[in-house]
Amino acid sequence: MKKTTQRNKVDPEIPTGSMADIAFLLIVFFMLTTVIAINRGIFFKVPEPAEDEKPQDIKEAAIYLHVTDDGQFIMDQKPAQLNDIKPYCRQKLTVNPNKPLIIHCAANARYQDMINLLDEVKQLEEEMYGEFNRGKPLKEQKRIRITIPTLEEAERYQNL
């Protein structure tokens, strides 16, 4: 009997050629959907409420910064430019670092104007205490005593 000829032996293998295609498809998906979300903003510590429900900071004793409805700045009852705020507050806070600072915005002022003012004060805080605060936990950091009264609270201050 004639012996059947043995064919070339085919090695068993899992085809991996398409794996790279799938992998790159997944990469493209993640690259398109990934959002590197870095949120940054101005940190503000809400002051502890006073025990006797009365406002802690009396207007006369504090630095009073006001934003009017039309976006003008008033600094201790005097009109001021945004650039004037930092030197004025620095001078006051150098004499008394515990002096509270009140930021009072009129109802129709733009949010941007309030942020501009807060940003100036925060820059001053960084200049004054930045070096000291570096690496320290939040509780031990030195800060300017900033108060942002609500419109209701501000009205109450004015009636005092």
Partner 1 sequence: MKLKRGAKIESYVPTAPMSDIAFLLIVFFMITSTFPVDRSFVNLPGAELRFQVEDKSAAWIIAYQSNRNVFLKVSDGKSMSQPLEEQKPFPVDRLEAWVYRQSVDNPGQLFLLKVDKSISYFWVDKIIMAIKNANTVRNIVFLAAAEKSF
CB 151 within 8 A of CB 77: no
Euclidean distance between CA atoms 55 and 110, whole angstroms: 25
Answer yes or no whether residue 151 interacts with partner 1 by CB under 8 A: yes
Could you tell me the smallest distance in angstroms from the CB atom of residue 3 to partner 1? 28
Residue 156 has a CB neighbour count (10 Å cut-off) of 13
- Which of 43-46's residues contact partners 24+ apart within 8 Å by CB, and which partners? 43/122, 44/118, 44/146, 44/148, 45/143, 45/146
Q: Which is nearer to partner 1, 4 or 34 (CB)?
A: 34
Among 5, 6, 8, 16, binds partner 1 (CB under 8 A): 16
Measured at the CA of 90, the angle between CA 71 and CA 98, to 5 degrees, comes to 105
What x/- string results for residues 72 through 91 when contact with partner 1 is judged by CB under 8 A? --------------------
Q: Nearest-5° angle of CA 125, CA 116, CA 74?
A: 90
Interface with partner 1 (CB under 8 A), residue from 57, 89, 113, 144:
113
Q: Which of 158, 146, 142 is CA-nearest to residue 100?
A: 146
Applying CB under 8 A, does 50 fall inside the site for partner 1?
no
For partner 1 (CB under 8 A), the number of binding residues is 49
Which residues neighbour 37 within 8 Å (Cβ) at sequence distance 6 or greater? none
Should residue 112 be labelled a site residue for partner 1 when binding is judged by CB under 8 A?
yes
Subset of residues 19 to 38 that bind partner 1, contact rule: CB under 8 A: 19-20, 23-24, 26-27, 30-31, 33-38
Q: Can residue 105 be called a binding residue for partner 1 (CB under 8 A)?
A: yes
Q: Which residues bind partner 1 (CB under 8 A)?
A: 16-17, 19-20, 23-24, 26-27, 30-31, 33-46, 48-49, 67, 105-116, 118-119, 122-123, 126, 138, 148, 150-152
